[in-house]
Chains A and B, each alone.
Chain A
C-alpha cells in the first residue's frame, strides 16, 4: 500500500458522504384497538434519526443513511416493535400496531385476594406505616389486620379469627418460616399482644384465604412478614411510657454492607393499674422482659444474609371469682419464656434463578397454674367437691420447633415464573399435667411445593400450585392443590378466582391422647373484584369455605367434625378526595356453622359475628406536625352456648344459648412529631373505646348451668401515652452547614 492508495480510500470515504441520499420515513402508530398513540418513539437503530408521534399517532423524519436498517417503535408498557427497512431514497411508510407488554405495574394481579403492605412494591393496599398509625392497633401487627375485612372483632384474644376460622387457623411466617408462638402467653379470656414489633418488618402480606402453596399448616389465613434489610443509617432510639421503657441501637457499617443491632425493654403495668381500675384482681401485674439482637450482611450485590434472635419473658397473675361457688376464687398464674431465632439468606444464583433459604429455631416454655382460693385469698380447704378440687392444676409445656426451608424462584418469559422448594419442621412438645407423667410429642413434618405463575397475556394469568406434606407423628401424607385465575378487563379493574385445599395438624391437646388422626382440612373458593387506582382501592370479595376432619370431643375423640363459612366483604380506601386525608371502610358479612368439639349439632361458633364493619381515618396536619387517627369498629352480637352432658339422653345438649350485645369500639390516637434536644421524637397518645360503651365477648356457665358470667375486657378503656425518641447521624445538617 502506498500513499496514493491511502488517498484514494480517504477520497472515497469523503465522496461517500457527499453523495449521501435522503430517505423519508413516515407512518402512524396505533394500539391493538386501532386508537392513535401519541408520544411513541420511532428510531432508526444505532443512529440519532427518528421521531415522536403526534396526537394523531403520525410521525415523519428523514435520514441520510442508506441500505438495510432496523426501525424500532417503543412506548412505556408496550412491547417493542421492530422491522428491517431498505433506505434508498424512496419514502418508507409504516403502519405500526403496538401491543401491551406484561408489566408488573399494568398487568393483572394474581394475589389480589390478599392485603399487602410494602414500600417496595408500588401497588399495595397498605403501607408499613399504616400498621403503626392505626388508632386501635397500638402498634400491634395483628390488631392492625383487624381493621381489614374478613377478620372478627375478638376482644378476649390477640389471635386473628378469619372468615369463620378459629384463632389457631391463622399462622404467622417471618421470612418464610412459621412462628410457633407469635403472641405472649396469657390467662383465659385476657387478650395479649404479638411478640414482634411492626418496625422489624418492611413488608406484610395478609391473606384471608386462598394463599400460595409455598405456605402450609394454616386452615384459614396466613400473615406473611418480611424482615427489613439494612437500615438507612446508624441510629439509637428509646421508648418511654408509664407502661414500658426500652432502648435500641442499630449500627450501619461505613461501607453500608452490613449492620448489627440490639434492643432491650421492660414492660410493667403496675403504675397504670393503680391509675385505671381493672375489673379482675391482678395479684401479679403483667410484666414483660424482652431483648433481641440482629446481624445483617450484604453478601454480594444481590445477596443478603440476615440473623435475628429474640428472647421474651412474661408473667401474669390474676384472680377471678369462681363460677360455681360464690365463696371461692380462682387464681391463675402465667409464666412464659420464649426464644425465637431466624436466619435467612437470599441470592440471585443466575440471571433467572433466585434462592431464598432459611432456618429458624424457637423454644417456648409455658407454666400455667390455677389455684382455688377462699375469700381471704388462702388456698381453699375443707371438704370441696371433686369438680372444684379439679380446678387446682399445674400445666407446663415445653415446645421446640426447628425449621429449615429453601425456595427457588425461576423467571420464565415476561412476568411468568416458577417457584419450587421444600421445608422440614422438627417439633418436640412436652406437656406435664399435675403429678402425671409428661406426655411427649415429636413430629417430623416435611413438605415439598411448586407453584407456577403463567401470564397468558397482560390481562390473563393463571397460578397453579401443589403442596405435598407428610407428618411422621400422624403418619399421613396429604396433597394440597391450589389455583388462581385472574382476568383484567380494564387497566384498573380485574376479577380473580382462587381455589385451594388447606391442611393443618390437629391441636396438640388432641394429639396427646390420640395420634391416629388425619389433618384438619379446609377447601377455599374465593371470587375477588378489584379496582385499584394510584390513590383509591375498591375490593369486593365473596367466599365459600368447607371444613372437614375437624376434631370432635365429648363421648369420643375423632375427626368427623365439619362445617362451612361463606360471606361477602368490601374494602374501600381513598387517599384522593381530601388532601392529607386518608380513610378506609370495610364491611364483612359472614355466615358460618360448624359441628366440632362437643357441639351436639351444627352451630354458629361463639367467635363469629354475622356483620362486622370498620372505619379507619387518618389525617395529617403538616402545620402542627400532628397526625390524628380514628378507628371505629362494629360487630353484631356473637352467639354463646351452654353445652352440657345430659345424663338422661347420654348426649351433649345445648342447655342455654343467646347472643351478646353488639360490639362498638371507637379508638383515637394522636402522633405528634417534634424534636427534643437532638432527638427526633414521636409523642403518641391513644384511647380505646372513647364512648365508654359496654363490651361483652360471651358468657361462661357454671357446671350446673344456674350461673352465667359475662366475658369482659379487664377495663372498658385502654389509654396509652408514650414518647419514642431516636438519634441518628443526620448527614444533611453537616452537608448544609459546610455550605453555608
Chain B
C-alpha cells in the first residue's frame, strides 16, 4: 500500500508539473524565439528580452531563457542606439549571459553572444579595439572547442573578428571568407539539441557572404 501511495504521489507530482509548466515553457519559448526573427526594432527586441527575462526568473534552472534574453538585448543594442544607451544595453546583455553561463558553463552558444557584446563595445569606443579585440578573439577561440562543436554562430563571429582585425594583429580577409563559408555549410550538419536551442544566423551569414563577395 505504501508503495502505491509513493507511486501515486510521484505521478501526481509529475502530472501537476507537466500540466503547469512543461508545455507552457516550450510554447512560450517557441513563440518568443519566433518573434526574434520578425521585424528588427529596438522595441521588438526589448519586448522579447523582457519576455525571456520573465521566463528565466520563473524557471531559474533553464539557461536558454537567460541566453535568449542576452541575445535579444545584444540585438537591441545593435539596432541603432546612441552610444550611451548602447553601452548600457551591452552591460545588461552581459549580465544575462553571465547568468546563463552560471547554469551552463563552457557553452559555445553563450560565448558566441558574449563576443558580440565585446564587438558592440568596440563600436561604442573605437579606441578600445586594441584591448578588447584580443578579448573577443580569446573567447571565440576557446568556444571552438566547447560544446556544441561545429557551431556556425561561433564560426560566424570568429570570421567577422578576423575580417575586421588588421593583418598585423592576425586578421585575414581571405581566411575570414573561408571561415564564413564553412559556417554556412555547418547549418547542414549542425543539429540543435532541441527546437528551443539556438539555430539562428543562416540568413545573416548569407547576406554577409553576398556583401563580402559582392
Contact = CB atoms under 8 A, between A and B. Distances in A.
Contact of A9 (B12, B84, B141, B145): B12
A733 interface: yes
A463 B131 CA distance: 33
A633 B55 CA distance: 58
A32 B178 CA distance: 54
A621 to B, nearest CB: 10
Contact of B127 (A10, A122, A127): A127
A54 B50 CA distance: 13
Contact of B50 (A50, A732, A739): A50
Contacts of A734: 141
Given A13-B12, A533-B84, A732-B141, A740 B168 contact: no
Interface string A652-692: 00000000000000000000011100001100000000000
A275 interface: no
Contacts of A740: 175, 178-179, 182
A41 B54 contact: yes
A735 B158 CA distance: 10
Contacts of B12: 6, 9-10, 13
A681 B168 contact: yes
Interface in A603-630: 618, 620, 622, 625
Contacts of A680: 168-170
A6 B54 contact: no
A618 B130 CA distance: 14
A105 B88 contact: yes
Contacts of A41: 50, 53-54
Interface string B155-183: 10010001000111110000100110010
B175 A534 contact: no
A122 B94 CA distance: 14
A581 to B, nearest CB: 10
B54 A76 contact: no
A575 B57 CA distance: 39
A453 B121 CA distance: 29
Contacts of B28: 48
Interface residues on chain B, size class: 35 or more
B168 A39 contact: no
Contacts of B141: 731-732, 734-735
A232 B170 contact: no
B106 interface: no
Interface string A33-73: 00000110101011111111011000000000000000000
Contacts of A10: 12, 15
B168 A47 contact: no
A351 interface: no
A535 interface: yes
A413 interface: no
B121 to A, nearest CB: 9
Determine the main DSSP class of B at the interface with A. Answer: helix
Interface string B121-139: 0001111101100110110
B203 interface: no
Nearest to B126: A580
Contacts of B135: 232
A43 B54 contact: yes
A49 B140 CA distance: 35
A79 to B, nearest CB: 16
Contacts of B104: none
B5 A1 contact: yes
Interface in A407-455: none
Given A76-B92, A673-B169, A52 B58 contact: no
Most buried by A among B58, B91, B128: B58
Nearest to A675: B168
B199 interface: no
B150 to A, nearest CB: 8
B169 to A, nearest CB: 7
A674 B53 CA distance: 45
B209 interface: no
A739 B144 contact: yes
Nearest to B9: A6
Nearest to B150: A739
B174 to A, nearest CB: 10
A580 B128 CA distance: 11
B144 A735 contact: yes
B43 A534 contact: no
Given A41-B53, A674-B168, A736-B179, A534 B16 contact: no
A420 to B, nearest CB: 30
Contacts of B24: 48
A446 to B, nearest CB: 39
Contacts of B53: 41, 43
A41 B84 CA distance: 21
Interface string B57-75: 1100000000000000000
Contact of A52 (B46, B57, B84): B46
A703 interface: no
A48 B54 contact: yes
A582 interface: yes
A377 B19 CA distance: 101
A74 to B, nearest CB: 8
B83 interface: yes
Interface string B65-99: 00000000000000000011001110110000000
Given A50-B51, A625-B168, A673-B166, A39 B46 contact: yes
Contact of B54 (A9, A14, A50, A735): A50
Contacts of A738: 144
A129 B88 contact: no
A732 B170 contact: yes
Contact of A575 (B4, B89, B127, B169): B127
Interface in A16-43: 17, 38-39, 41, 43
Interface string B35-52: 000000001001100110
A575 B168 contact: no
Interface string A118-130: 0100100001110
A736 B162 contact: yes
B102 interface: no
Contacts of A579: 126
Contact of B166 (A55, A127, A622): A622
B8 interface: yes
Contacts of B140: 732, 735
A321 interface: no
A9 B179 CA distance: 59
A625 B178 contact: no
16 contacts: A13-B19, A46-B57, A49-B54, A52-B47, A54-B43, A105-B88, A105-B91, A127-B131, A128-B131, A534-B87, A535-B124, A622-B166, A673-B166, A673-B169, A732-B138, A732-B140
Sorted nearest first, the 5 A-B pairs with minimum C-beta distance are: A41-B50, A534-B83, A735-B144, A735-B141, A731-B141
Interface of B: 4-5, 8, 12, 15-16, 19, 24, 28, 43, 46-47, 50-51, 53-55, 57-58, 83-84, 87-89, 91-92, 124-128, 130-131, 134-135, 137-138, 140-142, 144-145, 155, 158, 162, 166-170, 175, 178-179, 182
Given A10-B12, A43-B53, A575-B126, 19 more contacts: A43-B50, A43-B54, A47-B54, A48-B58, A50-B51, A76-B92, A122-B91, A127-B131, A534-B124, A576-B83, A580-B126, A582-B127, A673-B169, A675-B167, A675-B170, A731-B142, A732-B140, A735-B145, A736-B158
